[in-house]
Amino acid sequence: MLEESAKAAWEYGRQFLMDGKVADYIPELGKANPVYLGLCIKTTDGKTVEYGDVEQRFTMQSISKVVSLSVALQHVGFDKVFSKVMMEPSGDAFNSILKLDTASSRPYNPLINAGAIEVVSLLAPQFSFEQILDFTKELCMDDEITLNESVYHSEERTGDRNRSIAYLLKSKDVLEGDPLAACDLYFRLCSMNVNARSLAGMGLVLANGGVSPATGERLLSAQVVRTVKTLMFTCGMYDGSGEFAVEVGLPAKSGVGGGIMSCVENQMGIGTYGPSLDEKGNSIGGGNTLKYLSRALHLHMFDSEND
Amino acid sequence: MLEESAKAAWEYGRQFLMDGKVADYIPELGKANPVYLGLCIKTTDGKTVEYGDVEQRFTMQSISKVVSLSVALQHVGFDKVFSKVMMEPSGDAFNSILKLDTASSRPYNPLINAGAIEVVSLLAPQFSFEQILDFTKELCMDDEITLNESVYHSEERTGDRNRSIAYLLKSKDVLEGDPLAACDLYFRLCSMNVNARSLAGMGLVLANGGVSPATGERLLSAQVVRTVKTLMFTCGMYDGSGEFAVEVGLPAKSGVGGGIMSCVENQMGIGTYGPSLDEKGNSIGGGNTLKYLSRALHLHMFDSEND
Amino acid sequence: MLEESAKAAWEYGRQFLMDGKVADYIPELGKANPVYLGLCIKTTDGKTVEYGDVEQRFTMQSISKVVSLSVALQHVGFDKVFSKVMMEPSGDAFNSILKLDTASSRPYNPLINAGAIEVVSLLAPQFSFEQILDFTKELCMDDEITLNESVYHSEERTGDRNRSIAYLLKSKDVLEGDPLAACDLYFRLCSMNVNARSLAGMGLVLANGGVSPATGERLLSAQVVRTVKTLMFTCGMYDGSGEFAVEVGLPAKSGVGGGIMSCVENQMGIGTYGPSLDEKGNSIGGGNTLKYLSRALHLHMFDSEND
Amino acid sequence: MLEESAKAAWEYGRQFLMDGKVADYIPELGKANPVYLGLCIKTTDGKTVEYGDVEQRFTMQSISKVVSLSVALQHVGFDKVFSKVMMEPSGDAFNSILKLDTASSRPYNPLINAGAIEVVSLLAPQFSFEQILDFTKELCMDDEITLNESVYHSEERTGDRNRSIAYLLKSKDVLEGDPLAACDLYFRLCSMNVNARSLAGMGLVLANGGVSPATGERLLSAQVVRTVKTLMFTCGMYDGSGEFAVEVGLPAKSGVGGGIMSCVENQMGIGTYGPSLDEKGNSIGGGNTLKYLSRALHLHMFDSEND
């Protein structure tokens, strides 16, 4: 059943690849091959189901916002983090400056650029990039995650909008420490090289309430995981979050590198990779794969028994 | 267990009543008594648990947006409705005009004023107010819902911002028909007199996937109910929706009349009434009652078994 | 000298007619012939110089904002008018709602739609359309100005954005009286049928400090005229006002009907007609005619003797 | 006549000093004494009239935007400058980011921070600070202008909003070169120490069409001077520019250090110093002095002979 649905979902998703296009605002990302599509599902009872390009590496991009938020909530604490960033969907583009200068000096949520840069600035004094990378490996159950140097340098070269955001946060006394240092760590985190399998691993830990099914070790507290999944549900898919919630009904976080990391409560983690993006910046193949899967297996959070 | 938790939740909620204040932007609403707090829970297996002021009547206000959306999805259809209004959280105030004139000519979602007025304009040619009132009675399992004439007239006298929104939608060819007629129906729907028990009834139907547990009759299709609950989860509590999702983790819709209607998948409908509002416009007593209840009974959508 | 420069200016202006296009957001305006170009200059020492289509009638549109502002300052008074509308250039489109809902509940100035509708609402209780029409005839030294019924009805049919603005002003207690009545008077004023000669007449009265050179009668006080000319200089040419001030350096007011009314201190009134508009909504032929004229005759307000 | 009016104007202006307050967003500025008021007038026929604190030094702040714009127009050229910055009043606060991210990637005009930083970035590759300082000395006919080191360092420490603007301009490919280097030069230019007499000198050169009456030397071309004066008229007094144009009717540029530099065509340059500011950020004493002077001597650009 799971295997069949997964295969059908992957085949369904592939049909949309030509309708999207690869991100090119960071030149290095423009080199990705739009025909890739990988799907990996890892279940809490130990099964792994995979189709397509699941070993292909790509950079986490915005999915790393889930990592940095998780680490910050776990180690810096809820009170500090949410005194610096709100929990509200913003209704604006991921890289918007607008609300920051009109509605609230705190970024709307930790999954837009402004919020993530703020969160990363809270990590910078306590954690090196290598330490967060190590934690990411654990979370993804993948020892081979590395820094993609060429994407990192491409981010650096084209990161002026993020630097502008960081300085604006600094000018409002929201960001502490050096704005450029926060940006540098942020660029590195965006440039971690994962694959669909790593993302399925990370989704699995979230599905499992923060405990690694591999080792039985608790990596994140239940409260951190609940918070992160809620924010993924309301804000994880850029300005397409509301529609994704209605259509698919699962917590998910996408990155412009082409990845989507998702999870189903107590059941499974899901990772997809497809660098062809829709106009909202979400993987068009991955998003449609998840949509099919959600319907086929009745995974929508608001599917009733009476359906 | 349910009774005890419900009682403790209600007692917890009461402590916050003095921290909020009654809505007064519509003069008639300003007459409400801020010390009221009522909690009604109706379960799918037929139990009713109630504390406090559950028979006290008040106007639905924004909770009627769930009614009009449900009717429109059911009878006008998904395609038409979502060609006129988006599904995205807006990040702006409920009565904002901003995005409408800058970001998109379609309102961001059907639970902010602009979106609800648009939805109501789609109903106006097909349904009289009385017909929608009758359907609301069924949905709430409450025969005694009436139009509160004095609130309706107060809405009419102070409704110029909504008229401005309606004309703006008209100028963009999004709203069809007469803007003032749409506003009139909208004001009437906001002025339906319910109580906490009616809201629990409505929540119960939603929890039960659209089927009335009282009659076994399907009032709304599964797809309508899933959509409505998802939008309640992402956009139901004004600009406090994100925080409510993180803290409480249930679909809910509030109204400035003091009501909150919520539901727990396959388990229960919940109605609260407390006209003392927090600074986001949500019932401060009702919201805190739901927060307590969610924690005590582990109702949060993203509570894992591993908690 | 004046004749020669005027002729050369008109010939210069004609070259640009094909680069613009006729306004079509009000259907009736779309019928204008883009090849028309008329220039009329009336000097304080009694000379009239004319080229091209100076008798061709067209509707005043936004130029009527100068009329309504003048009447309001003269008869309602500075204090009342400027308690309702500011004097600042807005930097936004003429029909913007944005600032009204974010920056200030008073419109930024009386020459954008919101400000003009507000000003007209102050006139509505005291003056009939016919009375303002009569005053316009005097100001323009033109007895044949009438209401263009078909444009007026076209305005009415397409005026929902202005109605939205009027209701928004009403909701903020800035506009007094009936928003729809204010809009109706506003639409009528926009629909007064003038020609380039009438506009030169009006400009002449302004150039002459408010005294009609024809009759020697003072039509407007010196303070009203000074204020109106200043606002024309800073805000008269839509979002092209700043560039027009730099390039031409004269008070001027344009209308999407194709007219521009301008004046040179103590020297002359200038009227142009050319319905082909640039992308800012200003007559492309008229604007370039004025630019040439300003350079040829050194009319720029900030031309020094040392040039 | 001039002496008497000037004295009366200065006495009039002094009455308002206690209604304003000294700028404190840059800590070093907060040390200024709010009771200072100086007025210096220099006429094209060689007269100097002075009252009050005309030798007191203070930093130019935004008045330096006129210097950098003049140098850029003269040496970088109109085409390059106006391909990078518009000529329109913005209607927003001087340090706004809003329009930059929504309406146009080019700043609205060279007299708001974004525009001035852009202009300074065009100067940075060609001119050292010392060279621009030398030119400022000539323009102001004041050899003793120096860099105020403590204000410069205070600017540097609190300049994150300007850095945010610079990086945003960089991200939009509008700013060329290093954003932080542009900001550094901008901070230095803001920190040039002038007095009311220097500003009167600068105003005199502008009044005189760009030719120094002291030396007979042309410092700026007629076209540069005309452009600069026009922009001062439409945008020189922050968000109070429109009202100042109506009330005073002269080109003027204010700085939060307390200075205002103004001029009357072919007649005089005017400098005022009064660090007590109104709520728009303009010197309250200086502004009222200019208002009185304009009325007493009929200096308003749109005063007709028929007044």
Per-residue burial over B167-187, b = 16 or more CB atoms within 10 Å of its CB, e = otherwise: bbbbbbebbeeebeebbbbbb
Ramachandran angles phi, psi of B215, nearest 5°: -110, -10
Query: Which of D108, D152, D238, D292 does the annotation list as catalytic?
Result: D238
Q: What is the pLDDT of residue A307?
A: 65
Phi first, then psi, for residue B202 (nearest 5°) are -65, -40
Q: In the predicted model, what is the mean pLDDT of residues D245-272? A: 98
ipTM of the predicted structure? 0.96
At residue A22, the 3 state secondary structure works out as: strand
- The torsion defined by the Cα of B23, B29, B35 and B40, in degrees rounded to 10, comes to -100
pLDDT tens track for D117-130: 999 999 999 999 99
- Asked if D164 and A165 come within 8 Å (Cβ–Cβ), the reply is yes
DSSP H or E run through B295: helix B284-296
| DSSP secondary structure letters along chain C | -HHHHHHHHHHHHHTTGGGSEE--SSGGGGGS-TT--EEEEEETTS-EEEEESSS--EE-GGGHHHHHHHHHHHHT-HHHHHHHS-----SS-TT--HHHHHT-SS-S-TTSHHHHHHHHHHHTTT--HHHHHHHHHHHHT-TT-EE-HHHHHHHHHT-HHHHHHHHHHHHTT-S-S-HHHHHHHHHHHHTEEE-HHHHHHHHHHHHTTTB-TTT--B-S-HHHHHHHHHHHHHHTTGGGHHHHHHHT-S-EEE-TTSEEEEEETTTEEEEEE--EE-TTSSBHHHHHHHHHHHHHTT--TT--TT-
For B95, which residue in chain C has the nearest alpha carbon?
Answer: C101
At residue D31, the 3 state secondary structure works out as: helix
Q: Around Cβ C47, how many Cβ atoms within 10 Å? A: 11
Single out the catalytic residue among A49, A51, A64, A65.
A65
Catalytic-role residue among A152, A238, A273, A292: A238
According to CATH, the superfamily of the domain at D64-139+148-190 is DD-peptidase/beta-lactamase superfamily (3.40.710.10)
Which positions in chain A touch D165 (Cβ < 8 Å)?
A: 164
pLDDT tens string B204-243: 999 999 999 989 999 999 999 999 999 999 999 999 999 9
At B288, which helix (H) or strand (E)?
Answer: helix B284-296
Q: Which of A232-236, B90-94, C222-226 has the lowest average pLDDT? A: B90-94
Mutate to test the interface with A, among D160, D174, D178 (most CBs of A within 10 A): D160
The token duo for D303 is: 């005063």
> Could you give the CA distance from residue B194 to residue B184 in angstroms, rounded to a whole number?
19
CA angle in degrees (0–180, nearest 5) for B69-B75-B79 = 75
The pLDDT assigned to B304 comes to 82
Averaged pLDDT, B144-166: 96
CB A69, CB A251: distance < 8 Å: no
All partners of chain D with 3 or more CB pairs under 8 angstroms: A, C
- Express each pLDDT in A178-212 by its tens digit: 999 999 999 999 999 999 999 999 999 999 999 99
The angle at the Cα of B79, spanning B73 to B83, to the nearest 5 degrees, equals 105
CA–CA min distance A98, chain D (Å): 6
What percent of chain A is helix, strand and coil (3-state, nearest 5)? 50, 15, 35
Q: Which residues of B are catalytic?
A: 62, 65, 186, 238, 256
Yes or no, beta carbons of B171 and C179 under 8 Å apart: no
User: Around B243, how many Cα atoms within 13 Å sit in the side-chain half-sphere?
Assistant: 14
Work out the mean pLDDT of chain A and round it to a whole number.
95
Burial B25-48 (b: 16+ CB within 10 A, else e): ebebbeebebebbbbbbbbbeeee
What does the longest C-alpha to C-alpha distance in chain A come to?
Answer: 55
Which among A224, A243, A242 is positioned nearest to A234, based on CA atoms?
A242
pLDDT at C307: 66
Residue C174: C-alpha distances to residues A134, A192, C88, C106, C110 (Å): 60, 55, 17, 7, 13
Please choose, from the candidates B52, B53, B45, B110, the residue with its C-alpha nearest in 3D space to the C-alpha of residue B82: B110
DSSP state letter for A192: E
Q: What is the CATH number of domain A2-58+194-296?
A: 3.40.710.10
Rounded Cα distance between C188 and C184, Å, is 6
The whole-number pLDDT of residue D307 equals 65
Annotation says C174 is catalytic? no
Nearest to A97 among D160, D168, D170 (CB): D168
Q: Exposure string (b/e) for D99-128, b if CB count within 10 Å is 16 or more? A: bbbebbebbbbbbbbbbbbbbbbbbbeebe
Q: Are the beta carbons of D280 and D238 closer than 8 angstroms?
A: yes
DSSP state of D237: T
| Least confident stretch, C20-24, C74-78, D54-58, D291-295 | C20-24
Q: Which residue has the tokens 């127009």?
A: D73
CATH class for the domain made up of C63-190: alpha beta
Across B32-36, C89-93, D93-97, the highest mean pLDDT is recorded for B32-36
CA-atom Rg of chain B in angstroms: 18
Per-residue confidence at D244, pLDDT binned at 50, 70, 90? Answer: very high
Q: What is the pLDDT of residues A83-116, one digit of tens each?
A: 999 999 988 887 887 777 777 889 999 999 999 9
Nearest to B240 by CA among B20, B86, B64, B56: B20
Domain spans, chain B: 2-61+193-296, 63-190
Q: Angle between the B64-75 and B113-123 helix axes, to the nearest 10 degrees? A: 40
CB nearest to C91's CB, from D108, D207, D210: D108
Phi/psi at D194 (5° precision): -120, 180
Give me the pLDDT at residue D72, please. 98
Contact between C204 and C220 under an 8 Å Cβ cutoff? The reply is no
Average per-residue pLDDT in chain D? 95
User: Quick check: C212 and D306 in contact, CB under 8 A?
Assistant: no
Residue D186 is a catalytic residue: yes
Q: What is residue B307's predicted lDDT score, i.e. its pLDDT? A: 66
Chain B residues closer than 8 Å to C165 by CB: 164
Residue D279 pLDDT grade (very low, low, confident, very high; cuts 50, 70, 90): very high
- DSSP at D283: B
Whether the predicted pLDDT of B143 surpasses 90: yes
pLDDT for res D26: 84
pLDDT higher than 80, residue B103: no
Overall fold of domain C2-61+193-296: Beta-lactamase (3.40.710)
Torsion of CA B284, B286, B288, B294, to 10 degrees: -150
DSSP 3-state of B267: coil
- Residue of A154, A116, A113 lying closest to A132 (CA atoms): A116
| CATH class, range A62-190 | alpha beta
Q: State both tokens at A269.
A: 């983690």
Same topology for domains B2-61+193-296 and B63-190, yes or no?
yes
Distance from CA of D149 to the nearest CA of A (A): 22
The pLDDT tens digits for C2-18 are: 999 999 999 999 999 99
Report d(CA A93, CA A110) in Å as an integer.
Answer: 13
Give the model's pLDDT for residue B137. Answer: 98
8 A C-beta contact, residue D86 and residue D107: yes
pLDDT score, position A64: 98
A93: contact with D, CB 8 A cutoff? no
**Lateral strand order in the sheet of A146-147:** A58-59, A192-194, A146-147
**Cβ neighbour number for residue C73 with a 10 Å cutoff:** 22
Cβ–Cβ < 8 Å for A164, A125? no
Tokens for B86, please give them: 């988006």
CATH number of D2-61+192-297: 3.40.710.10
Query: If you count residue pairs, one on A and one on D, with CB atoms under 8 Å apart, how many are there?
Result: 48
Radius of gyration of chain D (CA): 18
Distance of CA C132 to the CA centre of its chain: 15
List pLDDT tens digits, range C83-112: 999 999 988 887 887 777 777 889 999 999
DSSP A239-288: GGHHHHHHHT-S-EEE-TTSEEEEEETTTEEEEEE--EE-TTSSBHHHHH
Which of A96, A101, A169 to mutate to test binding with chain D, by most D CBs within 10 Å of its CB? A101
CA distances from D53 to B91, D197, D285 (A): 51, 10, 12
